[in-house]
């Protein structure tokens, strides 16, 4: 699968061949419209999902105001 529908904006996302080759379980896609990176299992067992690399909201540091 060389392209998918971006889950963020429903645009066309093209496969990132180098990153997809390195990962054994997932393929990675870059949206041409919104530049969001998405991932999908190589065996197509699940729908594409947005790649989230930031810390979870509960894990972010709190600062006093």
Q: What is the pTM assigned to this prediction?
A: 0.76
Per-residue pLDDT for 58 more than 60? Answer: yes
pLDDT score of 65: 61
For the chain, which residues make up each domain, given as ranges? 1-43
State how far Cα 1 lies from the chain centre: 15
CA 49, CA 65: separation in Å to the nearest integer?
A: 35
Q: What is the pLDDT of residues 13-33, one digit of tens each?
A: 999 999 999 999 999 999 999
pLDDT in tens, 35-56: 999 999 999 899 999 988 776 6
């Amino acid at each position: 699968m060389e392209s998918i529908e971006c889950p963020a904006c429903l645009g066309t996302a093209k496969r990132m061949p180098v990153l997809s080759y390195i990962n054994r379980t997932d393929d990675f896609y870059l949206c041409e419209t919104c530049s969001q990176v998405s991932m999908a299992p190589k065996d197509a067992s699940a729908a594409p999902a947005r790649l989230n690399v930031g810390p979870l909201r509960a894990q972010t540091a709190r600062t006093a105001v």
